[in-house]
Chain A
């Protein structure tokens, strides 16, 4: 069964360093997302992406964050200068049917900022 894959599964970084989280969405999906979940808290929306551009971003998604679809398969989230509060599980998700369709999540990338 097709699935969303994410790498790395866990990354530990020092505050101020740049990190790139990678995702390969399900191949025929066109709508992509990043969500995050701080330990013990709600799943929070970061950004949605369609047709090679950002459709919407949350207040969390400030200038330190960027997303890119560098080729036909990968979808990346970059955090330029990590802060302690960026420590969270980051989930990539994709949808086949638009922004109100089913979301399929990857296994997540756990980011720990020291």
Chain B
């Protein structure tokens, strides 16, 4: 069965810390992996990864895919209180038209 597992489930850090969030997946025919930030309501798109080893970067956030390890990491440097959110990872399942989501990592950044 296809699945997505994220770790840790939750994380509390102080402003200025760097965090690394993990996403592992098991799908038969990998095509892409998406990262989202969910604050109060809708997940907001962060990155789409399709190729192993190529880092995607946006400001203090970056992400990279490792197809050999069937995983991806999301890094946030110099964290701010505004980074507090649930970070979701999603992967399209094999031969279907849907994404499955992990349970997310709840990040809390303290001032």
* In the bound complex, CA of A91 to CA of B45 (Å): 14
Within 8 A of B (CB), among A26-52: 31, 33, 41-45, 48, 50
Interface residue count on the A side (C-beta < 8 Å) = 24
In the bound complex, residues from chain B placing their C-beta under 8 Å from that of A86 are: none
Within 8 A of B (CB), among A73-102: 89, 91, 99-102
Interface hub of A33, A45, A50, A104 (most chain B Cβ within 10 A): A45
Contact call B34/A102, Cβ cutoff below 8 A: yes
Contact call A91/B97, Cβ cutoff below 8 A: no
In the bound complex, residues from chain A placing their C-beta under 8 Å from that of B100 are: 45
- Given A106-B42, A107-B41, A101 and B48 contact (CB-CB distance below 8 Å): yes
Q: Shortest beta-carbon distance, A24 to chain B, in Å?
A: 14
Contact call A102/B45, Cβ cutoff below 8 A: yes
Contact call B98/A56, Cβ cutoff below 8 A: yes
19 examples of A-B residue contacts, CB within 8 angstroms: A42-B102, A43-B88, A43-B90, A45-B100, A48-B98, A50-B97, A56-B97, A58-B98, A99-B96, A99-B98, A101-B32, A101-B48, A102-B34, A102-B45, A102-B48, A103-B90, A105-B45, A106-B42, A108-B41
